[in-house]
Amino acid sequence: MIELTLDEIAAAVDGRLVPGASGATGATAVTGESQTDSREVAEGQIFFARRGEETDGHRFAAKAVDSGAALLVVEREVDDRVPQIVVADSTDALGALATEVVRRVRGAGGLRIVGITGSNGKTTTKNLVAAMADRLGPTVASAKSFNNEVGGPLTMLRVEAGTETLVAEMGASAEGEITRLTDMAQPHIGVVLTVGLAHAGGFGGIETTFRTKSEMVRALDATGVAVLNRDDPRVARMAELTEARVRWFGQSEAADVRASDIVGDASGTRFTLHADGASRPVRFRVLGEHHVMNALAAATVGLELGLDLDAVVETLEAAVVAAPGRMEVLGGRDGITIINDAYNASPDSMSAALRTLAQVRRPDARSVAVLGAMSELGELAGDEHDRIGLQVVRLGISELVVVGADARRLHISAINEGSWDGESVLFDSADDAFDYLKSGLRPGDTVLVKSSNAAGLQALGDRLGAEFAPASDATTEEVTA
């Protein structure tokens, strides 16, 4: 974070400074990063004590001080060993401080802000864009999937005086949440990837999702750039809602940055990248053809930031690892491949992952889908689980292993579609599924593990990866998204 005095921080968050027993004054400077998890606090950092649904951060303030916190932002006084700033709402204060830091660095000139939203693909695209921005100068990007009212400002508060680019995921589970983030850090470039059914239950329907995602382009002014998916009809409609210049990506001939000749296999995807009248072959090592769209979005941003096409291609081809649980390739013993994609799931990403499984399996071996529930679908949950169960059968997946009662309709739909001879099995727990797979997988099998994070199957994918790791190599190749 940039250097700010305690008085400046208190003013930014509309709080009351309590110096405590440390001898600090309003002129005392703080430069450390901000944390909301006391376990993450390091020397010189700021701890924001938030009240959550299940716990209260004020209970852990003493632990944060023990770990070296230089400042507490609290809703009530808790520990006088270090200065405290007392505020009405710690989460609001976190956002207010992020707004002030970004305002100051942006006002000094040179800070470019890229905002990324969409129902699927935000983290992959963010990581690719960050890699491109890194080629041009110091870059701050969201860690993990930090994209909400807490993760967003925590990312913004890592900006320093020399930061040239801020790459921020901006997610939402309700209308207004993306606007809240863009008010903290108005993007110069706003990316919208897809409008799909992720969080549809919380949003209340696809049109509400559309309005929410369109908050990204509405935040752009006439000097900004909207990077939009030409192949998604709802995203394409957003061109009418922004003052910004529009740059299209997709497979459509109408896209400014597009892909053709797409061929995928177990090692990634090959395609031809077309932009600004030039073309280049690309060997993209992130598994799954659906990630080509994320690569195109990132390429469009890279070009807007000032990279030439060759540098964009070099960056795409260097991408291998992004985050655990996202099309992460594990295993390898006896030719058994585990694809752990259970960090999260929506109907669109589940469908894409299944198509990838069908595509990359060995011709002479089996494909096994280990699936859990997709959460936050509301009244659409039943129909969408039915649709995925049907797709498993129609893609010719060799075996379906369904985990958890919430995913039961996947199992029933597959049986109704024709998997009545044991091709689909249902287990109540991940432990039971692990025992079954441990003894039942065959040499050469390709296994996809996919569910929403709430279903808890990422750990199952990790266990299977470890179980079938080559005996002589404890580390496995990762190709994640």
Please report, in range form, the residues annotated as the binding site for ATP: 118-124
Contact status, residue 218 vs residue 176, Cβ threshold 8 Å: no
Q: Rounded to the nearest 10 degrees, how much is the dihedral formed by the CA atoms of 222, 223, 228, 230? A: 70
Burial of 27: CB neighbours in 10 Å, binned 0-12, 13-18, 19+: exposed
Question: What is the rounded CA–CA span in Å between residue 290 and residue 251?
Answer: 11
Tokens 């710690």 sit at which residue? 90
Question: What is the rounded CA–CA span in Å between residue 74 and residue 48?
Answer: 6
- Chain centre to alpha carbon of residue 106: 25
Q: Helices marked H in 67-214 — which ranges?
A: 90-107, 122-134, 151-156, 177-184, 200-203, 206-213
Neighbours of 139 (CB within 10 A): 20
CA nearest 446: which of 383, 356, 372, 324? 356
Q: Which SS3 state, helix, strand or coil, does residue 226 take? A: strand
Q: Which SS3 state, helix, strand or coil, does residue 139 take? A: strand
Question: What is the rounded CA–CA span in Å between residue 212 and residue 217?
Answer: 10
CA nearest 412: which of 426, 427, 399? 426
Type of residue at 430: A
Contact status, residue 189 vs residue 301, Cβ threshold 8 Å: yes
For strands 367-371 and 399-403, give the pairing.
Answer: parallel
Cα distances from 307 to residues 141, 206, 208, 264, 303, in angstroms, run 18, 35, 35, 26, 5
Type of residue at 274: H
Neighbours of 52 (CB within 10 A): 10
Tokens 């850090």 sit at which residue? 185
Question: What is the rounded CA–CA span in Å between residue 309 and residue 329?
Answer: 29
State the binding site. 118-124
